[in-house]
Structure 1
Amino acid sequence: MHLLDLLAARAEPAAAALLTVTRRCPLACAHCSTASSMESEQIDAAVLKRFVATFTVADRPEYVLLTGGEPLLRPGLVREIAERVREVGARTHLLSGMFFAAGGRTPAPVRRAIDAVDHFAASIDAFHERQVPRAAVLRVLRQLLDEGKDLSVQLTGLTPDDPYLRRATEDIRRELDDRVPILVTVVRPAGRARPWLPPVGAGAAVHPTVPAPCALAAWPVVCFDGTVAACCNQDVVDAAALGRLPAHLRLGHIAHDGWVAIRERLLERELLRGIRAFGPRHLASLAGAGCDGYCAACVTALGEPGTATRAGAVLERPGVRAVERQLGALVRAGGAEMFLRRYGTEGYRELAALGHEAGAS
């Protein structure tokens, strides 16, 4: 399972589900978008396992992403979820901050959890490196790579031209023989980074009258309290924790909703279909509402009942429905390349293809 397989499915609605195994983390990175600590909340294991148990061979996501906090603080739970997911024919991806690498050894429960998932991703950045040296992380990854594990690195810098990114990518490529894909991102003003990082735009400015499809509203996200959101934007996840999630972005709660109900709401909710096809800012403009930002249009403008009703009426028009279907098909056909062009970091996008065999899926 290569990183490009996952990115190719990013715009496919319900192709994957993101599970926040815990919000707890032993690291204290200054840029942490979730502001995680060892005192943070986490979902009851029984509730999370009960939700995963609703996946079946006939109806389940193709991929299940395990994240946190630090999901490997609950290695037994990770292993159980991964085994259940494999039983129904799906695959798992886990992202770790690699806290255990600093000690020079991988604890047995953690290793069993890593062995159980289909793809293991390590998060590397200057903030993590103050607590877990890059060399220690690369030693663990090298061992896993030599054993045949599918891997990737999520590398984060302050800006696209951060000199750290150039040095780190050179090191990772050299130590791992250009066999491990690298997804390069930049720090966003969320969580602990919000007080010190100036607000930045998410790529090029998008004019409200131009459709700009949103791929981030394609996969449901099980938030820290069990609420299921339709978007992985950290502000949306935070709003869920505070009970302030706009109605169109709230898909349910895993304490009483299974995968079938969550998937149906994600696929059939008119406003979400419109957001995926046209983008929230363009959709809000079609409904006669103005908004300063792309994501802000989804949370604020479309979160207002009157605007949501008007947007729904626009989306019911036969001509608009036809355009919606065409735009959705184009975005899905664009696969990983289109996702990286929109959300990847300039100058580093091609690194996501490292280790990908020609002709592979």
Structure 2
Amino acid sequence: MELKELPFLTNFGLMLTYKCTIACPHCIVKAGPHRTEEMRVEDAREWLTQIRDYTAEKGIKAGISLTGGEPFYNRELLREVADDAAKKGFLVSVVSNAYWAATREMALETVKSLESVGFFSISTDQYHQEFIPLSFIRNAVYACKKLGKEYDIAVAAVSEEDPAHLALIDDLLEFTEKEKIETALIAPVGRAETAIPPGTLEFSPEPCKASCSMASFPIIFPDGKVIACIGPPIVIPGRHPLHLGNLKQHPLRDLLQQAEKNSILHAIRVFGPSSLVELLRDKGYGHLLPPSFQTDSICDICHKLFSSGKICAALEEVAADDLFTKKVAYGRYYYLHEPEMMEMLDLVE
């Protein structure tokens, strides 16, 4: 088994706002101009302090990703939070649709105004381009290169073989390198649940077998909610295995200490969410499972499993087994070189 080492808690996301300049049909959180939810700068500063204290104690060099919605919608908030994060020693990145890059001059001015941000993740795809043309992306990339900022281009697609997606990749390669392009599959969640035409996405009776790197990086929302990843489970209401808690009710330290022992979360990181499907089948809960899963998508597995209260209850029951917990703890140690879970469970000799 080959598994890239992706250390736990080396990046934290802050969802600054649900407001966005556009309303893409595939948006998981249904962001748009009509949304009003926004993180208070006082909360952001306090939560950044808690992240700094915890990661410093653990010897972790962490990054902070500022996302939305569209973080540039409120530039004062973005700048204040980015500056505070940088002062506290974090590597700061921001996710944006680059609506601010209508010209090279505008792109340069905007990127230059955020000295604390070292990495720009620029979103574009056939859906974003209904609102923001490719020339804006080209200008944003130009500005990042000119000013020495790291960047990538995040592209969502129904399939990596989709003709529209392949055509876009060809266009992007005219002004950027292949390794700068990150493709993610669209999930039938949020606005995409009804806006993406039926039959567009592919499904299979068997889940995708791959581990998940994104479950290493929690995201904090304006209301204080903390979810273990930025994928489709963020829209599931109520408690589920990737819902770590709320910072307006408990300090971050308590939530992360509990997360270190969360065997379901770490099974996803080490063995992939398909391991949970196999576990449920082995323990006699196969009848609770959905009939199909999105092809090549690990995110769809988590969303389908954790959207069901009955499946969550079954998972909590079977994951409480000592053998399963030990398997996950040893997996973290062997594949990811993370001894924390073994130490907390007194498994280290």
TM over 0.5: yes
CA distance in 1, matches of 2:80, 2:87: 11
Shift of 1:99: 1.6
Where 1:152 maps in the other structure, the secondary structure is strand
CA contact (8 A) 2:236 2:306 kept: no
Shift of 1:250: 2.4
Equivalent positions of 1:164-313 (< 5 A) are 164-176=164-176, 178=177, 181-197=180-196, 198=198, 200=201, 205-206=206-207, 213-234=211-232, 236-240=233-237, 244-246=238-240, 248-278=241-271, 279=273, 280-290=276-286, 291-292=289-290, 293=293, 294-295=301-302, 296-300=304-308, 304-305=312-313, 307-313=315-321
CA distance in 1, matches of 2:71, 2:97: 9
CA distance in 2, matches of 1:303, 1:43: 32
Match of 2:69 in 1: 69
Match of 2:343 in 1: none
Give structure 2 stretches of 5+ with no counterpart: 294-300, 338-349
Match of 2:26 in 1: 31
Where 2:65 maps in the other structure, the secondary structure is strand
Match of 2:331 in 1: 327
CA distance in 2, matches of 1:161, 1:100: 30
Question: Given residue 259 of structure 1, which amino acid in structure 2 is its aligned partner?
Answer: L
TM-score of the pair, normalised by structure 1:
0.75
Shift of 1:233: 2.5
Tell me how many residue pairs correspond in the alignment: 313
What is the CA deviation profile of residues 150-191 of structure 1, one whole-angstrom value per residue up to 9, with x for unaligned ones?
A: 111112233222223333222222223x38611022322122
What is the CA deviation profile of residues 80-102 of structure 1, one whole-angstrom value per residue up to 9, with x for unaligned ones?
A: 33333333433122110112223
Match of 2:92 in 1: 92
Question: Given residue 273 of structure 1, which amino acid in structure 2 is its aligned partner?
Answer: H
Match of 1:151 in 2: 151
What is the CA deviation profile of residues 74-120 of structure 1, one whole-angstrom value per residue up to 9, with x for unaligned ones?
A: 22333333333333433122110112223665389943564321210
Give structure 1 stretches of 5+ with no counterpart: 1-6, 334-361
CA spacing shift, 1:224–1:83, aligned 2, 3 Å:
closer
Worse-superposed segment, 165-174 or 62-71: 165-174
Q: Provide the identity percentage.
A: 19
What is the CA deviation profile of residues 8-40 of structure 1, one whole-angstrom value per residue up to 9, with x for unaligned ones?
A: 66x432222121111100112222222112221
Where 1:122 maps in the other structure, the secondary structure is strand
Q: Whose RCO is larger (CA < 8 A, sep 6+)?
A: 1
CA contact (8 A) 2:226 2:243 kept: yes
The root-mean-square deviation of aligned C-alpha atoms, in Å, is 3.2
